[in-house]
Amino acid sequence: MKIENNSRVKLAYVLRYDDAKGDIIESVSVENPLEVVIGNEDLLEKFEEKIMGLKTGDTFDFVLSPEEAYGNYDEEGIVAVPKAELMEDVEGIEISEGEIVPVVTDDGDEMEAVVLEIEGDIITLDFNHPLAGETLYFSGKIVEINS
């Protein structure tokens, strides 16, 4: 059986950045594989394209550019907001630099941001994905496929 749209796939992989021998960002073992449904947006779109057609036991090794992964880092994704405004979204939570906090936009959409700096009554947030701007190196194995 080959991977196709709507296949339930179990896979193991190692994700690195900087280069194929770079630091490991994430590792999923064969013993405890990630289970996804292809086409359900469980994986990056280009990741799914790269494993489409593979069979159980096949291995993969590929690179995703920033544009194919989480996009380029966008300086406009850094926003300074009044602390009182942010605290409405994170009520009851003590926040500090480096933390990921939930934010509700004016449109009611929920997002996450990293707290870059807290200075007086202003909090600077980064809405970029933590892997934005990074080239990602994946290697792994298809553990199981079910239709």
For residue range 88-115, list pLDDT tens digits in order: 656 666 788 998 888 887 788 888 999 9
Cα–Cα distances in Å, from 73 out to 31, 99, 124, 133, 134? 34, 19, 16, 5, 8
Residue appearing with tokens 């193991």: 12
Phi, psi of 18 (to 5 degrees): 85, -50
Is residue 15 within 8 A of residue 136, CB to CB? The reply is yes
Separation CA 61–CA 145 (nearest Å): 18
pTM of the model: 0.82
Region 38-48 average pLDDT: 95
**Six-digit token pair at 119?**
């200075």
Residue 87 has pLDDT above 80, yes or no: no
Cα–Cα distances in Å, from 132 out to 67, 73, 90, 129? 9, 5, 24, 5
Residue 67 has pLDDT above 90, yes or no: yes
